Amino acid sequence: MKLKKVTAAALAALTVAGSLAGCGNSGGDTKPAAGDNQESGAGEVQSTQQSDAGSATGGESTKLTVSVWDNAVSPQFQAIADAFVAQNPGVEVELIDTQADEYNNKLTVMLAGGDSDPDVIMVKDAETQVTMKEKGQILSLDSFIAGDSLDLSIYDGAAEQLQLDGEQYTLPFRRDWYVLFYNKDLFDAAGVAYPSDDMTWDEFEALAEQMTSGEGSEKVYGSHNHTWMAFVSNWAVQDGANTLMSEDYGFLAPWYEQALRMQDNGIVQSYANLKTGNIHYSSVFEQQQCAMLPMGSWFIATLIQDKADGKIDFNWGVTKIPHPEGVEAGSTVGSVTPIAINAKTDVPDLAWEFVKFATSEAGAEILADNSVFPAVSSDTVIDKLASIEGFPEDGKTALEVKSLVLDRPLDAKMAAVRKVIEEEHDMIMIGEEDIETGIANMNERAAEAREE
């Protein structure tokens, strides 16, 4: 009997404590109450301590926190921070590092907590700035830009592409675009001229067919399409007429036809094989199983590194991505990595100084020194990138961008729509659905996803 009473009391107490700890905390960093309560047992429960972690540290305006991902393998973040500190003595910059896969989740949680850290936010996927803006988590930069009369034309239109309702909430930091990689040794052996920097996609397909040779394990494919939807959709949006937030995905049809035709003709490996084998594009290109590879400019740094490490021993080249009929050579598709300022920052001016520096031409040169493609593409930057040791001498043309279309529009619903259209992409590419059905399903399901 007594035992039951005590148990009931203990349960009741813990329930109350639990609900207090669970619902009553608004700060996000308070600990559950009943932590060190073993001695008192059924008795009273200590109340949660409300500690002012934020303001207790003093809060002098010389410490800046910046959220970044994969810091250990991305030396550019530290390099920018170091250069900024060198310019601003007495300032301390702390990088808050998260693994790339987890970055968006972690950032969501940090910002939801309403903390002043991180002061500066590196936005990994540009479309996530839309949600951050809608939740009022990032500052409008317009007054800062006007105050410093900053010239946004240095970004070749990338800054305007980031605007939301005509306001600038972020500035472009890094920019990557699609280029065409090729294996010079394979072209030399076949006696075929290297891919030109002005090819249509049809010419590219013909060249890929010409470069396909061998059988079985000796087979060399003319090109390689990775399993990302980008390998169909990017070329479909390259002319800038359509985007992946569309009411009708019919514009993808000719590009699916080409992708499936190349797959059926054995010019590229089959999607099903790549998907089930979980095969990475880098291994296909590096093991010389394909003569050409359309891929993002980030792959340049990988190839330079792998060649330096002796992982590959062939010569590679890089040139402009092919283009649709009627579109100028040098028009490409890519993505922008923006920087934003946390709306709750305790050091807005310092944060702005950092953003301004990181996105300036000086910042761009630091990125270029680290083989990263900055959003600013001045002649100095292009020269720096082209002169990186190991960069192919004739590859400079790939670095000259005429125009860049974002691979995905900045839209809060993009993530939800992307999930469903990628599932249909999967079905079309493995041949479970014909193109017409797949596109009809995309239209229907994307409309559902947009509505929610």
Partner 1 sequence: MTSKRKRAIRTNLIGYSFVVPNFIGYFVFIFLPVCFSFVLSVMEWDGSDVPMKFVGLKNFVKLFGDSTFQISLKNTLWYAVFTVPLTLVAALAVAILLNSKIKGIVVYRTAFFFPYVASLVAVGAVWNMLFQPEFGPINELLRFIGIENPPKWCASTDWAMWVIIIVSVWKYMGYYMVVYLAALQGISKDLYEAAGIDGATGWKKIRYITIPMLTPTTFFVVIMLTIQCFKVFDLIYVMTGGGPGRSTNVLVNHIYNAAFVDYKFGYASASALVLFAIVLIITLVQMRGEKKFTDFV
Q: For binding to partner 1 (CB under 8 A), which residues are involved?
A: 2-3, 6, 10, 14, 18, 21-22, 32, 34-35, 37-39, 41-42, 105, 108-109, 111-114, 135, 137, 270, 272-273, 275-278, 415-416, 419, 423-424, 426-427, 430, 432-433, 445, 448, 452
In the complex, minimum distance from the CB of residue 426 to partner 1, in angstroms, rounded to a whole number: 5
Residue number, 38 or 149, with CB nearest to partner 1: 38
Q: How far is the CB of 111 from partner 1 (least distance, A)?
A: 7
Q: Cα 193 to chain center, whole Å?
A: 34
Kindly tell me which of 111 and 339 has the beta carbon lying closer to partner 1.
111
Neighbours of 153 (CB within 10 A): 8
**How far lies 154's CA from each of 34, 173, 375, 378, in Å?**
57, 12, 9, 8
Given a contact cutoff of 8 angstroms between Cβ atoms, the answer to whether 319 and 391 are in contact is no
In the complex, what is the shortest distance from the CB of residue 139 to partner 1, in angstroms, rounded to a whole number?
16
Question: Residue 208 in contact with residue 267, Cβ under 8 Å?
Answer: yes
The tokens for 258 are 């080409």
Report the residue number, 36 or 393, with the smaller CB distance to partner 1: 36
* Nearer to partner 1 among residue 364 and residue 439 (C-beta): 439
CB nearer partner 1, residue 325 or residue 452: 452
Instruction: Give the nearest distance from C-beta 430 to partner 1 in angstroms.
Output: 5
Q: For residue 101, what are its two tokens?
A: 């896969």
CB 316 within 8 A of CB 291: no
**Residue corresponding to tokens 């949660």:** 48
* Distance set, CA 48 to CA 148, 330, 404, 426 (Å): 46, 61, 53, 51
Please, which residues bridge with residue 69 across strands? 98
Nearest to 45 by CA among 53, 54, 36: 36
Q: How far is the CB of 416 from partner 1 (least distance, A)?
A: 6
* Sign, Cα dihedral of 189, 291, 281, 179: positive
Distances (CA, A) of 235 to 124, 271, 318: 23, 17, 18
* CB 303 to partner 1: min, Å: 26
Nearer to partner 1, 346 or 424 (CB): 424
Q: How far is the CB of 238 from partner 1 (least distance, A)?
A: 26
